[in-house]
């Protein structure tokens, strides 16, 4: 298997899908001449030309609307947001048109659209550029929400998202773009809606996604030194949610910690806890514990920002609580 960075895995997925299907095109701010704000689209303009790799003005509402219209007439646009925070300016197109046109047309009009870009916090980008919006999008019927944590998942899930006949919100981790990992050679597709066991274990389940996968894995290593065998479940897709994988792990370990980057109130973790208490309550030996961002706008100060984020130490402390240790 090749070893690729997260950004190069995304680049490979875009290139392969654009080679496979002439209806696939990329559009967004700086995706062409500049090779993308995070270099995900490096080399695509040279290979595919300006009709399929399209630089746009700073006008998210406008170019997202163009993408929605293009999808409605049979093309497969990939719309890059420089950050998913900027997608707020296009929320009407995403929520009121893309998510609803298939339903409101009785299935006559589809919208095979991918809206992708980095989400959540990075390093000292301030409150307006550090927001995790996955629970917002997951609340909308008609949208799929995907959040890969590794290069292999990034490639396999993006290829599947581009081929999907529904609008997909594909949220990348800005702090993951330089991460390296093995990516399978050849055609690599990961079905949307399928979680992954990143680490098997027997004593406690840690459910996570995107940028909380790495701290969850680090927490599992620390817990192993204490004799606690943690299973790490990476959701990968927030909607549809892999309920079977979650419930199978709960039945196996009987204790659960849910870690997420976003805010706790009405967050992804709240949906996971609801599922567990409805479908697996009798499997639990302790209450489900959640780890999430502090309930504040993300601070700019680096010490406060670090304190506000979910990290390995907080996950370890939550596991101790779930396991009644110390």
Q: Which residues are catalytic?
A: 60, 129
Distance from CA of residue 105 to its chain's centroid?
Answer: 29
């Amino acid at each position: 298997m090749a070893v690729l960075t997260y950004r190069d895995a995304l680049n490979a997925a875009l290139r392969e899908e654009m080679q496979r299907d002439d209806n696939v095109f990329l559009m967004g701010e700086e995706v062409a001449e500049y090779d993308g704000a995070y270099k995900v689209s490096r080399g695509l303009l040279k290979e595919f030309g300006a009709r399929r790799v399209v630089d746009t003005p700073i006008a998210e509402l406008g170019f997202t609307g163009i993408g929605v219209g293009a999808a409605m007439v049979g093309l497969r646009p990939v719309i890059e947001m420089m950050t998913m925070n900027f997608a707020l300016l296009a929320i009407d197109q995403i929520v009121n048109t893309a998510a609803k046109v298939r339903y409101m047309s009785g299935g006559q009009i589809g919208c095979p659209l991918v809206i992708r870009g980095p989400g959540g916090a990075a390093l000292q980008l301030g409150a307006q550029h550090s927001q995790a919006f996955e629970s917002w999008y997951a609340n909308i019927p008609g949208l799929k929400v995907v959040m890969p944590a590794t290069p292999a998942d990034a490639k396999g899930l993006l290829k599947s998202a581009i081929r999907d006949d529904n609008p997909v919100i594909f949220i990348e981790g800005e702090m993951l773009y330089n991460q390296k990992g093995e990516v399978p050679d050849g055609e690599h597709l990961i079905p949307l809606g399928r979680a992954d066991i990143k680490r098997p274990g027997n004593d406690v389940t840690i459910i996570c996604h995107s940028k909380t996968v790495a701290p969850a894995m680090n927490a599992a290593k620390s817990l192993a030194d204490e004799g606690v065998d943690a299973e790490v479940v990476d959701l990968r897709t927030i909607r549809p949610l892999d309920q079977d994988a979650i419930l199978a792990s709960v039945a196996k370990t009987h204790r659960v910690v849910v870690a997420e980057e976003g805010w706790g109130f009405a967050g992804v973790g709240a949906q996971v806890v609801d599922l567990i208490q409805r479908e697996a309550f009798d499997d639990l030996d302790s209450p489900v514990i959640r780890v999430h961002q502090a309930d504040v706008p993300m601070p700019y100060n680096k010490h406060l920002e670090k304190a506000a984020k979910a990290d390995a130490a907080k996950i370890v402390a939550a596991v101790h609580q779930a396991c009644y240790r110390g």
